[in-house]
Structure 1
Amino acid sequence: MLSETLVFRLPDSGLSASANRYGPAKDAISNDAGVTLVFAHCSSAHKELWEPTISRLFDLCAASNTLSPQWRIREAWSLDAQSHGDSAIINHLALADRQALSIREYASMLNFFVTSKFVDGKDIIVVGHSASTSAWTIACADTTIPRLRALIFVEPVMVVPPIPDGDPRIMAGDTNVIGVLARSEGWDSYASLRRMFKKRYPWKVWDERVLQAHLKHGFVEVTGSAAHRGRVMPKCLKTQEVGFYYADDHVLAGKLVEKLCALYPVHSVFGERPEMVSLESRKLICDVNEGRVMASLSVVPRCGHLAVQENPDGVAEAIFKIISSSSSGTLGKRSLAMAHL
């Protein structure tokens, strides 16, 4: 798999975003007629966490002799939110005086990208995980994107009505805010950080490739700050990370799901273990009686909410099945998937 990194500036905020563009290996057959996949990450993550999934997708595509040319993957993009990953390093001075960026601001960046020169004239499929599913919903529900073929949501977290007092979906976000703000400011070395990850949940159950990517791309050794010099710190500061856990924008996304499903095919993919998104929340998100009609539903085995981190190959296979069924004009049975949610 080949890759290159680009940085683009957002005209509304003046912030920048970092993006990786991936293509098949040099010896693979090029396909200019195929689809472009655009990936967005979850809270506290970064664009490189998608790499094992993207690599597996290229392999599956190359091995297939049934995909029609227009549904083969021509390229994939993975984007860093403005406050996460390499974007956070680029924007560190501008972010110093800003409150935590919101899901709505994440959505603004995603909307800019899918209507930009980078994908102009290309058929696209967007893929989100957890918090970015709400961002994609806000980004696309009020925009006509003629060549947007589908949205694929892995463990979607938008909060759809009804929302009673003490709703566990909102309480989970509040709990995350408390936990993040109480977290350590950094580690003495990458070795000590890795040891901590190997002992603690959820990192200890992550796929080794994803864990290695997280260590390499999610952290930076501080050189300029006297207070933290020599410490290994997350690229995304915890004071910025918490912005993606606040409920308001996830509630907004929940109100827009019906509209989104009426505009585009929306596919939901869930982890086998119901964690952040309970069984009841899954049923609400996919409630056809409220107009939230998913084009397909699927379940990835051997993982929970952090499906991309725990079973990237399984997530890739679920995405590939969606692309394959779209190519052949047949989708998996919704009723069977619902029975396993």
Structure 2
Amino acid sequence: MSYQIQTHTILFQPRTGLYSLANQYIPQDRAPDGFWHFAYKEQWEVVIARIFELFPGRVNKMWAIDWQNHGDSAVMNDHTLQTKAASLTLAIFQISLPISPIVAVILFEPVHILQPVTAGDERILKGQLNIWGVKLRQTTFASREDASVWARKRMPWKTWDDCPLKSTDQEIWQCEPNVPIMAGHLYTKLCATFPVHRIFGQHPDMYSNATRDRFFDGKEGRTMASAQIIPRAGHLLVQEKPDTAAEMVVLILGQVQVDQLVEKARL
């Protein structure tokens, strides 16, 4: 891997009252500009390394961020999340999107839920089923090696590419309560503010294909710059097909750069 890693603690106190931890990745052949960031932290390292290989000399730096209720950030925010999760979630999702130099937003298998949400909604039921399954899992092991052997025989880990699985073996992560469905009403605002690209897995793990297609049906402002589907992958496509995920990111950002050059030529 041709990058150096630095870890920074980033404080979002003025807006959310929560901390986030981020890893910074800098290639040896760094470009003068070109800033990318990903969430969540270590699971992106294989994809990031592949992007550096496919995009040599064209990236200044990348950041991978632990959202406030995931990974190391969740450990730091444990007490606050346990006592004020609902109010903080509302505060975070009501933050307005500022004008920024962002040229594209790429969403991998997003789980926010578009309205309306009805009784018995398949998206909610699948989420509840996932929570039920997680609570029944074994959670303590005699060693890291025992945990790795256990995971490699079970879903979803047994479908993962070996590199992300090894990265997971090295990290201790934790997830705290959150209400991700509340972001759904901001999706049209996101589409109106930035070029939004979505990358889905072929297998509908979290919702049906019909539900997935609503994200780019053009109705109510749901207009996307592009939509890609990774074959033979599901919701955890970043872990299952990290090389393909990286190739799609490079393809999208390459087209963004071409579009920028065309726009400058017109001016």
**Range class of TM-score, shorter chain:** 0.7 to 0.9
TM-score (norm 1): 0.69
SS of residue paired to 1:149: coil
Cross-structure match for 1:82: 68
- Structure 1 segment 44-55 matched on structure 2, within 5 A: 47-55=41-49
Deviations 1:47-81 (A, max 9, x none): 11100000111111018xxxxxxxx3211000112
Write the deviation string for residues 280-308 of structure 1: whole angstroms up to 9, x where unpaired.
11111112022100000111123111000
Residue 278 of structure 1 deviates from its aligned partner by 1.9
Return the alpha-carbon distance in structure 2 between the equivalents of residues 206 and 182 of structure 1: 21
C-alpha RMSD over aligned residues: 2.5
- Note if contact 1:81-1:106 (Cα within 8 Å) is conserved in structure 2: no
Seen in structure 2, the aligned counterparts of structure 1 residues 107 and 297 have a Cα distance that, compared at 3 Å, is farther
Whole-angstrom distance in 1 between the partners of 2:134 and 2:218: 35
Question: Residue 215 of structure 1: SS of its match in structure 2?
Answer: helix
Alpha carbons of structure 1 residues 277 and 315: separation in structure 2 relative to 1, 3 Å: farther
Q: 1:102 to 1:21 in 2, by over 3 A?
A: farther
- How high is the sequence identity, in percent, across the aligned residues? 35
Q: 1:270 aligns with which of 200, 216, 220?
A: 200
Equivalent pair of 1:48/1:214 in contact (CA under 8 Å)? yes
- Determine the C-alpha separation between the residues in 2 that align with 1:310 and 1:104: 32
CA distance 1:154–1:104, change in 2 (3 Å): farther
Contact 1:82 1:106 in 2 (8 A): no
User: Counterparts in 2 of 1:183-262, with a 5 A limit?
Assistant: 183-217=137-171, 219=172, 235-236=173-174, 240=176, 243-244=177-178, 246=179, 249-250=180-181, 252-262=182-192
- Runs of 4+ deviating beyond 3 Å: 12-15, 88-92, 99-108
Change (3 A) 1:98 1:211: same
* Letter of the 1:21 counterpart: Q
Q: Output the CA distance in 1 between the equivalents of 2:111 and 2:73.
A: 23
Selected match of 1:73 from 47, 59, 71:
59
Q: How far apart, CA to CA, are the structure 1 residues paired with 2:44 and 2:258?
A: 26
Give the match's secondary structure for 2:256: helix
Q: Equivalent residues in 2 for 1:132-171 (5 A)?
A: 138=93, 142-171=96-125
Are the structure 2 counterparts of residues 205 and 48 from structure 1 closer, same or farther at C-alpha, using a change threshold of 3 Å?
A: same
Unaligned runs of 5+ in 2: 261-267
| Matching residue's letter, 2:205 | E
For residues 161-218 of structure 1, what are the alpha-carbon distances to aligned partners after superposition, in whole Å with 9 as ceiling and x for unaligned? 333321101111222222223332311111211111111111011111101111101x
CA shift, 1:23, in A, is 1.1
Determine the C-alpha separation between the residues in 1 that align with 2:254 and 2:129.
39
Cα 1:304–1:99 change in 2 (3 A) is same
Cα distance, 1:88 vs structure 2: 3.2
Q: Is the 8 A contact 2:103 2:256 kept in 1?
A: no
CA distance in 2, matches of 1:5, 1:23: 12
User: Pairwise mapping of residues 106-145 of structure 1 onto structure 2 (< 5 A)?
Assistant: 108=92, 138=93, 142-145=96-99
Taking structure 2 as the reference length, the TM-score comes to 0.87
Encode CA deviations 1:78-101: one digit per residue, 9 max, x unaligned. Answer: 011233222234445x35x82484
CA distance in 2, matches of 1:82, 1:51: 19
- The alignment partner of 2:53 has SS state of helix
**Residues of 2 paired with 1:148 and 1:253: CA distance?**
19
Larger deviation, residues 308-317 vs 321-330: 321-330
Number of the residue aligned with 1:31: 31
C-alpha distance 54-83 of structure 1, shift in aligned 2 (>3 A):
same
Q: Structure 1 residues 159, 263: CA separation in 2 closer, same or farther (over 3 Å shift)?
A: same
Contact 1:53/1:312, CA 8 A, preserved across alignment: yes
CA drift at 1:21: 0.3
Q: How far 1:31 sits from its partner (Å)?
A: 1.4
The one-letter code sitting in structure 1 at the alignment partner of 2:82 is R
Query: Does structure 2 retain, via aligned residues, the 8 Å contact 1:6–1:20?
Result: yes
Query: Which residue is equivalent to 1:111?
Result: none
1:40 CA drift (Å): 1.1
Letter in 2 for 1:56: R
- The separation in 2 between residues aligned to 1:320 and 1:313, in whole angstroms, is 11
Letter in 2 for 1:38: H
Which runs of 5 or more structure 1 residues have no equivalent in the other structure? 42-46, 64-71, 109-137, 220-234, 331-341
Report the number of matched residues: 257
Residue aligning to 2:55: 61
